[in-house]
Amino acid sequence: MAFETSCDETSVAVIRDGVVVANGVASQVRLHAEYGGVVPELATREHLRNLPVVAAAALETAGLHPSDIDAVAATLGPGLPQALMIGLRSAQALAFSLGRPFLGVHHHEAHLYSPWIAGEPPRADFGAFEPNVSLIASGGHTMLVHVEGELRHRVLGATLDDAAGECFDKVAKLLGLSYPGGPLVDRLAAEGDPGAFEFPRPMLRDPGHDFSFSGLKTSVRYFLERNPGIASDPQRLRDLCASVQSSIVDVLVGKLVGAARALGVRCVTASGGVTCNRGFRSQLARTASLAGLAVRLAQPSLCTDNAAMVGVLAERRFLRGCSTPIDEEIRPGWALGEVQSHAAA
C-alpha cells in the first residue's frame, strides 16, 4: 500500500504483483484555484481530512483488509514539508501497527518508472524496460534524467528558474485564464495557429541539458504590454496559446530527443502534469519517430501525482529486500542524485 501527499494530490494505491489494483486520488486543484497556486497550509489540512477516506476506499476497491498488506510505502520527498508529513506518518503508523516493513520513496524516482505502468488495470511492464532518457515536467519541476537501468539513474539537467508547468500557469494568468492554466492553454491551443506569434525557445540550441522558462514568460508579458487588449479577442487568444505552447513544447521535445541522441540512448520517456499536453505528446511522437527513438509516455492518469507509481517502485525495492527505517523523516529538499546513496545506506 502506498501513500503520496507531496503537493496537492492525496493519493493512496494498492499494488499486487506489479498490478495497480487501486489508485485513489483526491485532487485539491479546485481548492487552490482561487489563490492562483498551492497554499501549503490548506494542502496539509486537506490531506489530513482526505487521506483516511482515500485509504479506506483504496482498500475496499482492492478487496483487502489492512492485515493483508505486506508492506507500506510513502513519498519521503521532495515536496511541501507539512504535506509530506501527513502521508509519511500515516504510512509509518500503519506499517508499525501491522508489524510490516516501511519503504520511503523519492517522488521523482517514482515518476521515472510511471511510463512503464500501462494498461487497464495498469500493470508494471518492466519486462519491456529499455535504457532511456526521461523527462519529468510538472508545476514544480522540469528535469532530464538518464535512466541507465532499473533503479539506476543520473540527472542530466533541470530548469534553472521556472518549471515548464509554472510557465504554462504564469502565461495563462497573463492571458486572463484561471489556475492551473496548463490544461486551458492546451485546449485553446488546439484551435489556434502556432505560427501566429514568435516567442523565444530558451536554451533550445544550448548543448547542455538544462532548461530556463522565465524569459519566455517575460517576453509574453512584454508582448501583451505592446499589444493591449489582444487577449480579449477569442481567436487571437487561441493563437497566443498555440504560439506559447509551441515554444514550450519545442524546448521540451528538442531537449529530450537531443539528450537521447547525445547519449546514444534509443528510448525516451516522459511523465509529470505537463506531459499530458496534447501538443507535447503528438510532437514528441513525430520527432522521436524521425530520430528512430522509441517513446513511452505515462498514461494521462499517471502523469500527474499519484500513489500508484510510488507503490510500483516500492514493490520492486521490497522484492529486492529493501526497507527504510520506520522512524525515517521527511526530506523536503531531497535531490534525485542522492537516491542511490540513500538506498545503499
CB of 101 or CB of 140, closer to ligand KG4: 140
Q: How many whole angstroms separate alpha carbon 95 and alpha carbon 126?
A: 26
Residue 168 contacts which entry, ligand KG4, Zn ion, none (Cβ below 5-8 A, type-dependent): ligand KG4
Task: Report residue 312 CA to chain centroid gap.
Answer: 15
Q: CB 143 → ligand KG4: shortest distance, Å?
A: 12
The interface with ligand KG4 within residues 131-190 (CB under 6 A) comprises: 138-140, 165, 168-169, 180-183, 186
Q: Shortest gap between Cβ of 96 and ligand KG4 (angstroms)?
A: 28
Q: Quick count: other Cβ atoms within 10 Å of Cβ 319?
A: 11
Footprint of ligand KG4 on 82-141 (CB under 6 A): 138-140
Integer Cα distance of 242 and 42 in angstroms: 33
Q: Does 305 bind Zn ion (CB under 5 A)?
A: yes
Task: Decide if residue 305 touches ligand KG4 (CB under 6 A).
Answer: yes
Nearest to Zn ion of 83, 242 (CB atom): 83
- Strand (E) positions, the chain? 2-4, 9-16, 19-27, 72-77, 102-106, 117-118, 123-124, 132-137, 142-149, 152-158, 267-271, 294-297
- In whole angstroms, what is the distance from residue 88 CA to residue 65 CA? 20
**Per-position b or e across 177-200, b if 16+ CB within 10 A of its CB:** bebbbbbbbbebbeebebeebebe
Q: Which does 276 bind (CB under 5 to 8 A by kind): Zn ion, ligand KG4, none?
A: ligand KG4
Total residues at the site for ligand KG4 (CB under 6 A)?
A: 19
Q: Could you say whether residue 273 binds ligand KG4 (CB under 6 A)?
A: yes
The residues binding ligand KG4 (CB under 6 A) are 7, 138-140, 165, 168-169, 180-183, 186, 272-274, 276-277, 304-305
The footprint of Zn ion (CB under 5 A) covers 138, 305
